Amino acid sequence: MIDAALSWNVGPMAAVAGAIAEDVGRSLSLFTDTVLVENGGDIFLKSRDRISCALYAGEESPFGGNIGFAVEAPHGIGICTSSGTVGFSFSLGKANAVTVLACNSATADAAATAIANRIHSPGDIDFLHEYATDGSELIGVIACCGGKLASWGIELFETDLRGEV
């Protein structure tokens, strides 16, 4: 947590949910080939199969439930989301969602928090590439604010999850 926090200039608690998800997930992976541990929007995933995921950006975002991405995680991956408009966590920004993929969940969690803190308006999405490469170690980032969405390092596809329960 401390290393991830220092890399992204946030406090170590910005990485706690991701770190816990990964610790639990790595322990469980001793018993099975596929593990997904979700901890409040912060995920550790390990699977031999390619897994499809969907962006959750809240009911107000035009992108929540409409944007998907696939990940390969044979050795484990962190998929963490931070938001200034969804959930109870404190954020300095106004992003509907910032989802980060990284080789470890603590880094993904800290990076999602740091990047979400920098997004105060849809125009800030234009700088996603700069934010994403700030601390490196990232596999990809998706960010949306208002009616604007950008991704770096992740191939997106359209999905329709809004009608499903």
**pTM attached to this predicted model:** 0.92
Number of domains in the chain: 1
pLDDT at res. 164? 47
Across 27-55, average pLDDT: 95
High-pLDDT (> 70) share of the chain, %: 95
Q: Give the SS3 label for residue 127.
A: helix
Q: Are 100 and 108 in contact (CB under 8 A)?
A: yes
Q: Would 77 be classed as within a structural domain?
A: yes
Query: Mean pLDDT across the stretch 7-19?
Result: 95
In a domain, 165, yes or no: no
Residue 145 lies in a domain: yes
132 vs 114, residue with greater confidence: 114
129: domain range? 2-158
Q: How confident is the model at residue 165 (pLDDT cuts 50, 70, 90)?
A: very low
Pairing, β 156-158 against β 67-82 = antiparallel
CATH of the domain at 19: 3.10.520.10
